[in-house]
Amino acid sequence: MNRVGENSGKPRRPRRRGVLPLALALGCAGGGGAGGAGGGAVDGFAAFDRDGDGSITRLEYLQTSADAFARLDANRDGWLAGAELERFPPEVRARIDADRDGALSRDEFLGSALDSFLRCDPDRDDRVTRAEAQACGP
């Protein structure tokens, strides 16, 4: 009985980079969950581009972030804490948790979203294009 290395829980977790940083946190954003066959970088972008015009406005970004917050806040107490935070990679969590109390308030969450938005909009036209989103590091 020689076991041929079967595919036991292959750690195939392509790092999702190049999409807006917060999309990482939202992880979810693209609801569709297209099972990552290579290349199909998560389309966090489409999730934020609510009207599908190819760019994300500040309003679209904040609305999507607010929706995501509501979805993530399972017990509806206005905070993300405990199990609600499990899907956030630690570095993302640390970045959002401005006051370091281990929980994310809605303000922290949206404040961080706005930061991300501004960082990804170098020309300050209040729109993040797909190219800007891709260029914008984590």
Q: Which residues of this chain interact with Ca ion, rule CB under 5 A? A: 49, 51, 53, 73, 75, 77, 79, 84, 97, 99, 101, 108
Closest approach, Cβ 107 to Ca ion, in A, equals 9
Q: How far is CA 77 from CA 64, 90, 98, 106, 115, in A?
A: 19, 22, 19, 10, 24
Closer residue to Ca ion in complex, CB, 31/77: 77
Closest approach, Cβ 94 to Ca ion, in A, equals 10
Closer residue to Ca ion in complex, CB, 77/125: 77
> Rounded to an integer, what distance in angstroms lies between the CA atom of residue 68 and that of residue 90?
18
Query: Hey, which residues does 79 pair with through a beta bridge?
Result: 105
Which amino acid type is present at position 52?
G
Closer residue to Ca ion in complex, CB, 31/36: 31
> Rounded to an integer, what distance in angstroms lies between the CA atom of residue 34 and that of residue 91?
25
Closer residue to Ca ion in complex, CB, 75/135: 75
Closest approach, Cβ 99 to Ca ion, in A, equals 5
